[in-house]
């Protein structure tokens, strides 16, 4: 079985080794488990205790000696279902707390702020946080859109645009190339207007209300987020000049 898969759902390397050892050994003592799993004797009881809490190991005592055995691998699915149930409960609890947490964040927001977000996760945070602050009355202005970035970034933007469209927020975008499939897909989106202007900046820039987001997709993709009404207005004015020149 793929051990990485078990790690991803919450098992430690030690737990995986011990469980697999017990599957192969059957009911046995800690000495044989330590030998088979190559686990430190100082950690074996701690690992077995965790596996018993997960319902994957049982223990019996015969003549003052503890014997351990592995539960059916079907129990892994039961464990996963229980984990999902617990996550749903935590999600409901967090949803109750979100309004107060968002109120704290809103109260602490500064009029001027600059942040650099790095990598895929960072960029995801930057664009969805910016979208979170927008409403139907706002408009997004985009220039220098890059179509040859990695596929995971294209998929991220598709998800982002889906949420934007659900909020009925208009996006006006200026491309430098209309031959790509990315442009064709973009051109068919609702609440979206597209024009083409040759030779515009290779950096992708989005203006969202009083925020300017500048993207790079090189070896270390990043997003520079500038929250400043004056700077945002300068970019809006520049965008409108290009928009008038660009072709529909």
Residue 185: band (very low, low, confident or very high) from pLDDT cuts 50, 70, 90? confident
Classify residue 248 as exposed, middle or buried by CB count within 10 Å of its CB (0-12, 13-18, 19+). exposed
Taking CA atoms, 98 is separated from 94, 102, 104, 133, in Å, by 6, 6, 10, 15
3-state secondary structure of 38: coil
User: 124-171, pLDDT tens digit by residue?
Assistant: 999 999 999 899 999 999 988 766 678 888 889 989 999 999 999 999
- Decide if 14 contacts 40 (C-beta within 8 A): no
Is the model's pTM score more than 0.75? no
Q: For 225-229, which contacts have Cβ atoms below 8 Å and span 24 or more sequence positions?
A: 225/113, 225/114, 225/115, 225/116, 225/117, 225/126, 225/130, 226/113, 226/114, 227/110, 227/111, 227/112, 227/113, 227/114, 228/111, 228/112, 228/113, 228/114, 229/111
What was the pLDDT predicted at 201? 61
- pLDDT (mean) for 172-181: 77
What was the pLDDT predicted at 9? 85
- Decide if 118 contacts 217 (C-beta within 8 A): no
Distance CA 15, CA 65 (A): 22
User: CA-CA-CA-CA torsion for 229, 235, 238, 242, nearest 10 degrees?
Assistant: -130
pLDDT at 207 over 90: yes
Q: In sequence order, what DSSP letters do the residues of 41-59 get, joined into one string?
A: TTTHHHHHHHHHHTTSEEE
Residue 224: band (very low, low, confident or very high) from pLDDT cuts 50, 70, 90? very high
3-state secondary structure of 137: coil
- pLDDT (mean) for 7-19: 90
3-state secondary structure of 119: helix
- Decide if 19 contacts 56 (C-beta within 8 A): yes
Distance CA 102, CA 55 (A): 38
Joined together, the tokens standing for residue 183 give 């442009």
- pLDDT (mean) for 227-244: 93
Among all chains, which residue has been given the structure tokens 């109260």?
A: 107
**Among 2-11, 104-113, 235-244, the range of highest mean pLDDT:** 235-244
3-state secondary structure of 65: strand
Domains plus CATH for the chain? 3-74 (1.10.10.10), 107-245 (3.30.870.10)
* Closest to 242 in 3D by CA, of 157, 184, 175, 148: 175
């Amino acid at each position: 079985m793929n051990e990485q898969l078990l790690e991803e759902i919450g098992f430690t390397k030690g737990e995986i080794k011990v469980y697999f050892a017990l599957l192969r050994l059957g009911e046995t003592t800690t000495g044989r488990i330590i030998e088979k799993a190559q686990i430190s004797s100082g950690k074996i009881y701690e690992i077995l205790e965790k596996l018993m809490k997960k319902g994957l190991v049982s223990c019996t005592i015969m003549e003052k000696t503890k014997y351990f055995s592995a539960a059916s691998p079907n129990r892994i699915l039961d464990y996963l279902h229980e984990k999902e149930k617990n996550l749903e409960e935590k999600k409901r609890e967090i949803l109750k707390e979100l309004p107060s947490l968002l109120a704290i964040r809103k109260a602490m927001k500064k009029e001027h702020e600059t942040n650099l977000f790095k990598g895929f996760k960072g960029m995801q945070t930057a664009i969805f946080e910016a979208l979170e602050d927008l409403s139907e009355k706002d408009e997004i202005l985009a220039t220098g859109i890059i179509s040859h970035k990695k596929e995971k970034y294209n998929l991220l933007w598709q998800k982002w645009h889906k949420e934007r469209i659900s909020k009925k927020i208009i996006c006006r975008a200026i491309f430098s190339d209309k031959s790509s499939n990315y442009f064709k897909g973009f051109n068919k989106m609702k609440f979206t207007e597209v024009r083409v202007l040759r030779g515009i900046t290779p950096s992708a820039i989005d203006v969202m209300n009083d925020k300017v987001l500048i993207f790079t997709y090189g070896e270390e993709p990043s997003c520079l987020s500038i929250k400043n009404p004056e700077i945002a207005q300068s970019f809006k004015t520049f965008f409108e000049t290009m928009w008038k020149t660009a072709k529909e």
